[in-house]
Chain A
Amino acid sequence: MPSLAISSERLSKLYRLGVIGTGTLHDDFERWWARVRGLPDPTLKVDAVHRPGHGAMWALKDISFDLPEGATLGIIGSNGAGKSTLLKVLSRITAPTEGCVRLRGRVASLLEVGTGFHPELTGRENVYLNGTILGMRKTEVARKFDEIVAFAEVEPFIDTPVKRYSSGMHVRLAFAVAAHLDPDVLIVDEVLAVGDVAFQKRCVGKMQDLTSSQHRTVLFVSHNMASIKALCSRAMLLDHGRLVADGDVDQAVAKYIDRQQPAATGVIPDNHPVIGTGEVRLRSVTILASSGEPVSELYLGQPFRIVFVVEALKDVKDAVFEVDISTLDGTYVTTSLSVDGTRAPIPLAPGLHTVCLDLDVVLLADHYSIDLGVHHSGPPWTMDFVRRTLDFHVLNVSESGGDRYFFDVKRGFVRPQGRWHVSAGPERT
Chain B
Amino acid sequence: MTPATDQPWTLVIRPERRWLDLRLAEVWRYRDLIGLFVRRDFVAAYKQTMLGPAWYLIQPLLTSFTFLVIFGRIAQLPTEGVPQLLFYMLGTVVWSYFAASLTLTSNTFTANTGLFGKVYFPRIVVPISMVLSNLITFAFQFVLFALTAALYALGGTTLHVNAWVAVLPLLLVMLAGLGLGFGIIVSSMTTRYRDLQYLVAFGTQLLMFASPVIYPLSSVPARYRWLVAANPLTPILETFRYALLGAGSVSAAHLAYAGIVTIVVLTCGMLTFTRIERTFMDTV
Contact = CB atoms under 8 A, between A and B. Distances in A.
Interface of A: 1, 3-4, 7, 9, 15-16, 20, 24-25, 28, 66, 88-107, 109, 111-112, 115-116, 118, 120-121, 125, 128-129, 132-135, 137-138, 161
A20 B193 CA distance: 8
A20 B192 contact: yes
Nearest to B11: A103
A94 B33 CA distance: 21
B1 interface: yes
Nearest to A89: B13
B206 interface: no
Contacts, number: 121
Chain A CB within 10 Å, residue with most, of B1, B2, B282: B282
A340 to B, nearest CB: 48
A224 B68 CA distance: 67
Contacts of B1: 1, 4, 66
B15 A95 contact: yes
B119 interface: yes
A105 B40 CA distance: 30
Given A3-B2, A93-B117, A100-B12, 9 more contacts: A4-B4, A16-B282, A95-B15, A99-B15, A100-B13, A103-B12, A112-B118, A129-B40, A134-B119
B115 interface: yes
A24 B33 CA distance: 35
B24 interface: no
A106 B119 CA distance: 14
Contact of B13 (A3, A95, A109): A95
Q: Tell me which of B1, B35, B117, B119 has the highest count of chain A C-beta atoms within 10 A of its own C-beta.
A: B119
Given A98-B15, A120-B43, A3 B7 contact: yes
3 smallest beta-carbon distances between A and B, as pairs: A95-B278, A102-B9, A92-B120
A133 B33 contact: yes
Nearest to A16: B282
B251 interface: no
Contacts of A116: 115, 119
A129 B7 contact: no
Nearest to A15: B282
A88 B30 contact: no
Given A97-B15, A118-B44, A121-B43, A20 B283 contact: yes
A16 B279 CA distance: 12
Contacts of A125: 39-40, 43
Contacts of B282: 15-16, 94
A115 B119 CA distance: 7
Contacts of A135: 30, 121
Nearest to B121: A133
A96 B118 contact: no
Interface in B86-137: 115-121
B232 to A, nearest CB: 28
16 contacts: A88-B281, A92-B11, A93-B281, A95-B279, A96-B14, A98-B15, A102-B7, A102-B13, A104-B7, A107-B11, A112-B119, A116-B119, A118-B40, A120-B43, A132-B36, A138-B35
Contacts of B281: 88, 93-94
A101 B116 contact: no
Interface-centre pick from A102, A104, A134 (highest chain B CB count, 10 A): A102
B13 A101 contact: yes
B47 interface: yes
